[in-house]
Amino acid sequence: MHTSLGPFGRRFPIQNSTFRVIGVVGLVFGSLIPSIVFGQTLYKTQSGADPRETGKNAANITVETNPEADPGGSRDPERVDESYQPKGIEFGQFLVLPELEFEERYNSNVFALANDPKGDFITRIAPEVQARSRFKEHALNLRAGLEQNLYRRFDDDNHMNAFVTATGRYDFDRNWEANALLETRLQHEDRGSPDDAGGEEQTPVYSVTGELGSEQTAGRYKFSESLRAVRYTFGDVDAGSGSSINNSDRDRIELVGTGRASYEMFPGYSAVGQLQGNVRQYDDSVDDAGVDRSSQGVRAEAGIGVDITQLIRGDFLVGYFRQDYSDPTLSDPAGPAVRAVFNWTPSRLTVVVPSFERSVQETTTTGASGMVRTGGSLLVRHEYARNIVITGVTSVFHDDFDGAGRENWTYDGRVRLIWALAPEYYVGGELSYRQRTSNIETSEYDQYVASLRFGLRM
């Protein structure tokens, strides 16, 4: 029998280790800001326009900073020229923008299998609505959507995703703003995930996210901090023959506190320091395998920040990370931390975003503590015409499952096109290919996806 748990279906036990790491996070903030001086958050709540843009012909796509922020290209229709954007519906001080998107895609290996791959056609229907505030100062933006996925052959994998997101910005003055985000999501775990339970259907994942942050500039100094909390709940799935797979031992809460300080040494170049602490606390003291997966970690980095007007922006940071697990049978991954993301705009119509990062990610793979991921990607987006945007993304990732003796290499390439025929509708398409190699033969797979989509907007 299929059962699932909502995001608040289980009690969250607080342990002493949680308080220790929260103390580390507190030191992050205390060391960077002796008073209420906050900083850069990942969530800008305005429409996305770059305030440094000048001239009507300037491309409005040069705000891209992270190629992994929108891998599915759901925001691509918003990247065409302003004249092809929908006018929306006036509602007081808000602009309401409803949208309905249809997509038909073919996946050559829907179960991400090493042998005997099975392909299928999937129909995706995705209504969405957003409300953008138009206050003279401050901002409040809301976004909500559904995504129904219907499989032609393997209808046990039919599923619906949903999300509701609210973001806000409060402007204390021209040099100080605070940001907030609240979001709830229902998603389904990808069949290619190393943590996929292998059930009769995809695993439902419920999440609730809250984030607070702020940013202040004082002359050549800029300070920032943010505190992010995410609650994950995983639903059980049918295993066949009347049995089910228990996923409740994966339920957890993740806390991340980040502090950042920068000093502009000369125009366009800044010295940057960043300190981050995290807590990953599981509801169950031990999982079904008898392992306590709760952990706490720290990441410290320093480097150079670049911000040369309309040409290149980004960070190059190096440092050290460590993740300590509560269970003595799990190893504690540690080592060099690297993060480099640059947003290069060689012309007003093109943006190039190289990215490289090494970090520890959570996994429930048997025998592994964390998954140390080292990877790089390159995004190139070009405004072929005012109403046509073409995007190409290629990436390579190496995943080391610390303590499990497992290593994966994942290669991914995709090209997307969005063609806005009018402000009210657009068409698009995508071709992608993914290959995973591994020292565990059953973890390997190849997969290509081709899709066409059509959107209606107001």
Q: What is the pLDDT of residues 154-187, one digit of tens each?
A: 999 999 999 999 999 999 999 999 999 999 999 9
H helix or E strand, kind and range, residue 188: strand 176-188
- Rounded to the nearest integer, the mean pLDDT of the chain is 86
Sequence length of the chain is 458
Query: Are 214 and 225 spatial neighbours (Cβ–Cβ below 8 Å)?
Result: yes
User: Any idea which fold 16-457 has?
Assistant: Porin (2.40.160)
Q: What is the pLDDT of residue 184?
A: 98
Q: What is the pLDDT of residue 64?
A: 59
Q: What is the pLDDT of residue 252?
A: 96
Q: Which of 71-80, 141-150, 376-385 has the weakest average pLDDT?
A: 71-80
pLDDT band at residue 367 using 50, 70 and 90 as cut-offs: confident
pLDDT band at residue 311 using 50, 70 and 90 as cut-offs: confident
Query: Are 185 and 166 spatial neighbours (Cβ–Cβ below 8 Å)?
Result: no
Give the C-alpha separation, 421 to 454, whole Å: 11
Q: What is the pLDDT of residues 200-228, one digit of tens each?
A: 999 999 999 999 999 999 999 999 999 99
Q: Which residue has the higher pLDDT, 183 or 58?
A: 183
Query: Are 380 and 350 spatial neighbours (Cβ–Cβ below 8 Å)?
Result: yes
Residue 216's beta-bridge partner residues? 176, 223
Residues 6+ apart with CB under 8 A from 371: 194, 360, 361, 362, 363, 365, 399, 400, 401, 402
Range among 11-25, 49-63, 92-106, 365-379 with highest mean pLDDT value: 92-106
Mean pLDDT of 87-98: 94
Q: What is the pLDDT of residues 116-125, one digit of tens each?
A: 999 999 999 9
Give the C-alpha separation, 397 to 330, whole Å: 23
pLDDT band at residue 141 using 50, 70 and 90 as cut-offs: very high
Mean pLDDT of 402-415: 92
Q: What residues does each domain of the chain span?
A: 16-457
Residue 373's beta-bridge partner residues? 359, 399
Q: Is the pLDDT of residue 370 over 70?
A: yes
Q: Is the pLDDT of residue 267 over 50?
A: yes
Give the C-alpha separation, 3 to 11, whole Å: 18
Q: Which of 69-83, 268-282, 337-351 has the weakest average pLDDT?
A: 69-83
- pLDDT above 70 covers what percent of the chain? 85
Residue 212's CB: how many other CB atoms inside 10 A? 16
pLDDT band at residue 390 using 50, 70 and 90 as cut-offs: very high
- CA distances 334 to 295, 319, 327, Å, are 13, 11, 16
Give the C-alpha separation, 6 to 149, whole Å: 21
Residues 6+ apart with CB under 8 A from 63: 48, 49, 50, 343
pLDDT band at residue 65 using 50, 70 and 90 as cut-offs: low
Q: Which of 34-43, 98-107, 175-184 has the weakest average pLDDT?
A: 34-43
Q: Is the pLDDT of residue 32 over 50?
A: no
Q: Which amino acid is at 208?
A: V
- pLDDT above 90 covers what percent of the chain? 70
Q: What is the pLDDT of residue 198?
A: 85
pLDDT band at residue 309 using 50, 70 and 90 as cut-offs: confident
Q: What is the pLDDT of residue 15?
A: 42
Single pTM value for the model: 0.82
Q: Which residue has the higher pLDDT, 24 or 173?
A: 173
Give the C-alpha separation, 408 to 401, whole Å: 8
Residue 169's beta-bridge partner residues? 139, 179
pLDDT band at residue 265 using 50, 70 and 90 as cut-offs: very high
Residue 378's beta-bridge partner residues? 354, 394
DSSP 327: S
Q: Is 152 helix (H, G, I), strand (E, B) or coil?
A: coil
Q: What is the pLDDT of residue 29?
A: 39
